[in-house]
Structure 1
């Protein structure tokens, strides 16, 4: 308790990052000029200024419709994942309630980033979620797995497993992956869940996540045999025209045909 008290500020920050499993922060250039963010409103001199949150182009999933580019926030996608999960045919052998909650909040760690997303200088658009640099990615998921744990131990375990599944190939987040592996081992032992149940739950969460990403990105999801408990499913989400355009609503309907394949429309 209070182990960092009395240390220099920079050293305390390094200790906090190490304790959370985050990679070391890179050194900052002494007087590097700030790069203007193209999606932000500008003052008369042409300088970018933050503006209110509702005026920012918040998006990490890009949806192209003709010549237009729409952005869907990662948190909106996460909520949509929860709606898809809630319509799924239940599997009583799995921790169903916790799994539905995990689906809806699995990207909760992205919320602060969405308020001021980084811009890809090559495109002038926000980075897509898979393009976010490792340091920021680790910060987002360290925050997200900690937040998910507040919804319950099983929810926290499922979201932690989802993160390590997604981040397995990112060398820059190995410390956080190791931290989460320790969390998973402790929670698995405490909850008494077997590996087969956890693997099945994690597979289903990943499948819901992929369907939601397809819907948000304007692609027809691969459903195979009709998996929902209803004959027709209509999901809705909001997107923003980029850069810094109007917010628009999108509706996608899916119905099980005679072949079991969905029919999606936007």
Structure 2
């Protein structure tokens, strides 16, 4: 789950956005790419967080924040099995090409995890082991699928980089990541700048899309005005409440 502080609203409100909803924005980002992209890549971007479907139905509660866990606060030991199931679901639903790209995106995540955590202190040993196991198992699986599909390593790497770019940009739009000054993708550097005074709106330069502006809207849930719940029971009642909000964001050319 992601949390987006809507600072421009009065009173301010924080929206909770599910991982699969954030992934929909990733798909829209690649669907608008200025160069033609394989439909399987766009679908994989749209569904790359299929691993989180079951968790988002009943998210775990973080007593430190008084909210459902932020997705980055869940360790690899817990979510690596979810990714395994997500890859299997992707293969069953859409075939090996989409499953390959979802699997490869998982590898991108677990490689970044391994790069960040090189020691076994602070209780990270189990998470490190889960990340390493995923990388080892899926490396050969990805090679087998790519070979069977006739995809060369460079093509798969390029698609994985585009998916990672769309994922990162969507996380920024959803308020889950601070915007870096620039993002590297497929040999180009794209500058990112928050538009002052407008929530979740960013300028990109050079502009990589077919239209001069992109707008996004996904269903979300508004947290209470305090930004947290008294306990897990209150959070469960909120999850059962049918009330919804809309999380809006946009990209524009500099």
TM-score above 0.5: yes
Alignment check: 8 A CA contact 1:211 1:221 kept = no
- Tell me the distance in 1 between the aligned counterparts of 2:65 and 2:201: 25
CA RMSD of aligned residues (A): 1.9
Alignment check: 8 A CA contact 1:62 1:72 kept = yes
Who is 1:233 aligned against?
A: 214
- Tell me the distance in 2 between the aligned counterparts of 1:85 and 1:122: 36
Who is 1:31 aligned against?
A: none
SS in 2 for 1:175: helix
- Tell me the distance in 1 between the aligned counterparts of 2:73 and 2:203: 23
In the alignment, structure 1 segments of 5+ residues that lack a partner are 1-59, 262-266
Residue in structure 2 matching 1:187, options 141, 145, 148: 145
Alignment check: 8 A CA contact 1:214 1:220 kept = no
TM-superposition CA deviations, 1:87-138 (whole Å, max 9, x none): 111345xxx1110110111111101000111111211111111111222211
Matched, 1:200 2:158: yes
Matched, 1:160 2:103: yes
Alignment check: 8 A CA contact 1:214 1:221 kept = no
Alignment of 1:1-80 (within 5 A): 60-66=1-7, 67-80=12-25
Alpha-carbon offset, residue 197 of structure 1: 1.2
SS in 2 for 1:223: strand
SS in 1 for 2:205: coil
Tell me: CA distance 1:145–1:72, structure 2 relative to 1, closer, same or farther (3 Å). Answer: same
Alignment of 1:85-104 (within 5 A): 85-91=30-36, 96-104=38-46
With normalisation by structure 1, the TM-score equals 0.68
Who is 1:8 aligned against?
A: none
Tell me: CA distance 1:175–1:216, structure 2 relative to 1, closer, same or farther (3 Å). Answer: same
Who is 2:205 aligned against?
A: 224
Q: Which has the higher contact order (CA 8 A, sep 6+)?
A: 2
More strand by share: 2
- Tell me the distance in 1 between the aligned counterparts of 2:81 and 2:219: 26
Count residues with an aligned counterpart: 195
Who is 2:27 aligned against?
A: 82
The structure with the larger Rg is 1
With normalisation by structure 2, the TM-score equals 0.71
In the alignment, structure 2 segments of 5+ residues that lack a partner are 115-127, 176-198, 224-228, 230-237
